[in-house]
Amino acid sequence: MPRILLRIAYDGTEYSGFQRQIETPRTIAGTVARAVTAATGEKDIEVSGASRTDAGVHALSNYAWFDTTSRIPPEKFSYVLNSKLPEDIRVIESRKVADDFTTRHLHFVKTYEYHIHNAEFPDPLQRRYAWFMHTDLDIASMSDAAQHIVGEKDFRSFCNSKSQVLTTVRTLLSAEVICTAEKMPRDITIRVRGTGFLYNMVRIIVGTLVEVGSGRLMPDDIDTIIGKKDRSVAGPTAPPQGLVLADMKIVVDTPETPGL
C-alpha cells in the first residue's frame, strides 16, 4: 500500500508522548491517525514515528508515516491534515516514500535543544517550554563539561535504567551551552547533535550539566561518570517540558529507500 511520510511539528504539553506500547489517552501518533481517518475515511490507520518523543516533549521537526489508498495527492496531505488536526500539531510537508519505508533504512542527525529559564522568578510564558531554575548557574563550567560528552562513547550512565537496548554506545557530534545574558534573568539553551540517542539521554545529560553549573559536580567528573556505566552516578533526569527535537536531517539516502 502507498506510504506517506509527514514532517511534523508539535507542542507536546497536552500529549502523553508520541506513541506508547499500551493504549494511552492522547498521543501524537493517535491524533495524527484520527486526522488521517477524518481526511480519507480509512479506518485503523497506524502512524509510526522516526523519534518517539516522551510525554511533554516538543518537536519542531519529526517524521511520521502511514499507509493509505486515498487518492489525495501525497504533497496535498500536509494541507488536508492541517485542517483536521488541533493547532498544537502541524504538518510541515508530506510526500510519498517506498512502501516498505521505515527508519531502519535511514540514518539521521538529530538536534535536540533543552531550554532553561534561569531567573529569580518563574516566567509564566515559559512554563510549557522551559525548566525554571533560580540557582545562578556557572555557564563556563557547563560548557566545559559539555565537551566531555562529545564523541563516540558508552552512554549507559546517561540512559534510563529501564531501557533495554543491544548497545548503549552512541555518537554525539556536538554539545553547546548557549546563554542570552551574563547574569540572571537569562535563557540557557543546551543544544546537542547526534546520530542516535538513548531513552532519556538528553534529559539526563541536562540534569548532569546543571549539577556542574550549580557546583555539585566538576567538569572533569563527567569522564568518571561515563566510565562507571551506572545510571545512579549521573545527575537527575531534567523535566520534559524544556526539551524540543529541534531538527532531524536525513543524511544517508540508501538504496532501500528509493522513494525518498
Which residue is listed with cell 527535537? 245
Of 162, 133, 167, nearest to 152 by C-alpha is 167
Binding track, positions 39-78, relative to its own copies; x by CB under 8 A: -------------------x-x------------------
> Contact at 8 Å (CB) between 4 and 74?
yes
178 binds its own copies, rule: CB under 8 A: no
Stretch that binds its own copies, among 47-55, 100-108, 118-126, 200-208 (CB under 8 A): 118-126
Q: Is 199 exposed, middle or buried (0-12, 13-18, 19+ CB in 10 A)?
A: middle
Binding track, positions 9-38, relative to its own copies; x by CB under 8 A: xxx---------------------------
92 binds its own copies, rule: CB under 8 A: yes
State the nearest-atom distance from the C-beta of 233 to its own copies, in Å: 33
**Does residue 175 sit in helix, strand or coil?**
strand
Which residue is listed with cell 535536540? 112
Binding track, positions 241-260, relative to its own copies; x by CB under 8 A: ---x----------------
State the nearest-atom distance from the C-beta of 17 to its own copies, in Å: 16
Buried (b) or exposed (e) across 21-57, using 16+ Cβ within 10 A? eeeeeebbbbbbbebbeebbebeebebbbbbbbbbbb
Is residue 54 part of the annotated active site? The answer reads yes
Q: Which of 83, 87, 162, 182 is in the footprint of its own copies by CB under 8 A?
A: 87
Nearer to its own copies by C-beta: 12 or 219?
12
184 binds its own copies, rule: CB under 8 A: no
Residue 125 CA to residue 244 CA, distance in Å, equals 16
> Contact at 8 Å (CB) between 102 and 48?
yes
Q: Which of 6, 39, 45, 89 is in the footprint of its own copies by CB under 8 A?
A: 89
Of 145, 162, 45, 65, nearest to 105 by C-alpha is 65
Nearer to its own copies by C-beta: 105 or 128?
128
Q: Which of 54, 67, 144, 253 is catalytic?
A: 54
Altogether, the residues listed in the chain come to a count of 260
Stretch that binds its own copies, among 33-41, 86-94, 168-176, 225-233 (CB under 8 A): 86-94
- The set of residues, in sequence order, having a beta carbon less than 8 Å from that of 193 and lying 6+ positions away, is 109, 110, 111, 112, 172, 173, 174, 175
Catalytic residues, which ones? 54
Contact footprint for its own copies (CB under 8 A): 9-11, 58, 60, 87-90, 92, 121-125, 127-129, 244
